[in-house]
Structure 1
Amino acid sequence: MARRRRGAAGRDEEFTFVSPVVKYLLFIFNFIFWVRITLPNVFLFISTSPFFLSASEAALACLSVDPAIMLLVVGILMFIITFCGCVGSLRENICLLQTFCVCLTLIFILQLAAGILGFVFSDKARNKVTEVIDKAIVHYRDDIDLQNLIDFGQREFGCCGGVTYTDWSKNVYFSCKNDNPSRERCSVPFSCCILSKDKAVINTMCGQGMQELEFAEAGGHIHTNGCIDKLVNWIHSNLFLLGGIALGLAIPQLVGILLSQILINQIKDQIELQNYNQNHRSDPWS
């Protein structure tokens, strides 16, 4: 009676090193990440951004501060990475899996390096944040998404401008220059205003002419402290929360790296087994 053909180390040819659990866990991991991160980012960009309707020079000028463009860049990047992970796991393609693993590793290292450098070079990081906020103030009226983001930040932190409320003079509409024909000359956005819950009617023009007032007088109507100091103080008082968020972002990345590396090793072992079996098919009794 014929025996079943055996492969390397006494295993039959139906044996596979590739674990279906690891394979489909990696696929589900990438698919969920793709649905939760990539699709919403691209959708938000297409549905809200004026990028396609504006001139290319204006778009490039707003590239570093336009939330919609940033969402699109992140969406495209994550689409490429998750595509490599999904297809690589289903097709058992080592090249795609290695690309996925390397990209996740690089992202993790960059995040870690950014955190360390931001802590060590806190002064330079503060200066960079100041530059970004200044650019955002300049382009405040150019992009509705950016405008909503700044207004949300000023309301939540109870602040106005970058270093101080007079930073709004950097915007062409709020500039205090004598030749500025805007009706908002020397004003600040409504989101800078101190709102009283006792008043039934809210004065939406409360920021009118606030830059012309002295600091103490303006402080009775608007938040005069800049958002940079408020942001720094918030970070210092919420270090444990930020650390938890960073850990929550790092764990899925490490899981993805681990699963992809395990699957790569299993595929390599399977390829070696197949090559061994092909080399010994001439002897069916081995």
Structure 2
Amino acid sequence: MPNRDYRYRDPAVAPASAAARTGRSSRRPRNRIPHNFTYISSCVKYTMFLFNFLFWMCGLLLVAVGVYATLDKWTNGEVLSLETIYDVLFNLAFLLIIIGGVVCIVSFAGCIGSLRENLFFLKFYSFCLLIFFLLEMVLLALAFIYPHKLTEFLENELSEKLIASYRDDLDFQNLIDLVQQDFECCGLSTEGYKDWRKNEYFNCSSKAVERCGVPYSCCHKPPEEALINFMCGFEVQELQIDEVAKKINIEGCIPTIQGIIESNLYPVGGVAIGIALSQLFVIWLSRTLEGQIESQKALWNIQ
């Protein structure tokens, strides 16, 4: 008779044993992630790169212009004095180098962080943008909460330094002339054209040719094809206010600009809101890309 195995077999174990013999698992196969799947959005990535590349190029241009202007002054024998914060603010060439350098560094971090998917550079970039945005909001809030303090600082402290430094830097002088011509104003504070008494060349006690006068940029715009009188501002500080108003603009630039802003409050507010929303959008893009990169790294670790 054939030899038979009559040992007891548990029915629950038998299927498992059969599955073990065949090498198959009783569990359901899990859904595998496609090999080419990625959390990183190409739209977010390359929008970030393009935006920061354009700003990086603008930063390089500012640095190049600032360096060229600085070298030009140095070759012409001008002394670069950077002893106080006002020396830096009123030295346009050096100010362009600083602003351009900051723009270059931050936008370069955004370029490399987005293109190479580098979290360190992206976090540095978003942190810098957030700091800039918060500083802008703080300054704006202070300007609204303490408007008189801001006006007092601009008219007293800053205007005195600006007027006194008029002849010290040719680029700075051209900037003041441009503002006075475009906004048809003279001087900075509420004293208007009398601010020029604070300049050693236009003071009435000076022995210069321009004593008791104001720069030509304070003069009324001449009619077309009329002869230009570059001496129209000479000795106007000694005249009566009615005679002065016939020759030059007598209002200060700060009150004039404030009046323009107040009369165009809605357009100015719209531009300010647009700039703030643009900054928030770029910060959101950066943070979104950071989250996508972290999710992608977690996916690689799982696989």
State the TM bucket, normalised to the shorter chain: 0.7 to 0.9
For the residue of structure 2 that corresponds to 1:216, the secondary structure is helix
In structure 2, the CA distance between the partners of 1:17 and 1:51, relative to structure 1 (3 Å rule), is same
Is contact 2:211–2:235 with CA below 8 Å preserved after alignment?
yes
- The answer for the alignment partner of 2:164 in structure 1 is 138
In structure 2, the CA distance between the partners of 1:10 and 1:221, relative to structure 1 (3 Å rule), is same
Query: Equivalent of 2:280, from 254, 271, 279?
Result: 254
- The answer for the alignment partner of 1:124 in structure 2 is 149
2:239 and 2:283 map into 1 onto residues whose CA distance is 57
> For residues 145-181 of structure 1, what are the alpha-carbon distances to aligned partners after superposition, in whole Å with 9 as ceiling and x for unaligned?
211111111112221112321111111111211xx22
How far has the Cα of 1:50 moved from its partner?
Answer: 6.4
Does 2:105 correspond to 1:80? yes
- The answer for the alignment partner of 1:227 in structure 2 is 253
Query: Equivalent of 1:48, from 56, 59, 69?
Result: 69
Q: Which has the higher contact order (CA 8 A, sep 6+)?
A: 1
Query: Equivalent of 1:89, from 99, 114, 117?
Result: 114
Bigger radius of gyration, 1 or 2? 2
Residue type of the partner of 1:15? F
Q: Unpaired segments of 5 or more residues in structure 2?
A: 1-29
1:198 and 1:262 map into 2 onto residues whose CA distance is 56
- The answer for the alignment partner of 1:113 in structure 2 is 138
- The answer for the alignment partner of 1:24 in structure 2 is 46
- The answer for the alignment partner of 1:176 in structure 2 is 204
Is contact 2:89–2:95 with CA below 8 Å preserved after alignment?
yes
How far has the Cα of 1:116 moved from its partner?
Answer: 1.8
Is contact 2:55–2:104 with CA below 8 Å preserved after alignment?
no
Query: Equivalent of 1:98, from 123, 134, 144?
Result: 123
How far has the Cα of 1:55 moved from its partner?
Answer: 3.2
How far has the Cα of 1:199 moved from its partner?
Answer: 7.2
- The answer for the alignment partner of 2:293 in structure 1 is 267
For the residue of structure 1 that corresponds to 2:194, the secondary structure is helix
Is contact 1:140–1:171 with CA below 8 Å preserved after alignment?
yes
For the residue of structure 1 that corresponds to 2:97, the secondary structure is helix
Residue type of the partner of 1:151? D
What is the TM-score when the length of structure 2 is the normalising length?
0.81
How far has the Cα of 1:219 moved from its partner?
Answer: 1.7
4+ runs deviating over 4 angstroms: 49-52, 58-61
Q: What's the % identity of the aligned pairs?
A: 39
Residue type of the partner of 2:79? A
How far has the Cα of 1:198 moved from its partner?
Answer: 6.9
- The answer for the alignment partner of 1:280 in structure 2 is none
How far has the Cα of 1:87 moved from its partner?
Answer: 0.4
- The answer for the alignment partner of 1:218 in structure 2 is 244
Residue type of the partner of 1:120? I
Query: Equivalent of 1:149, from 154, 175, 178?
Result: 175
What is the TM-score when the length of structure 1 is the normalising length?
0.85
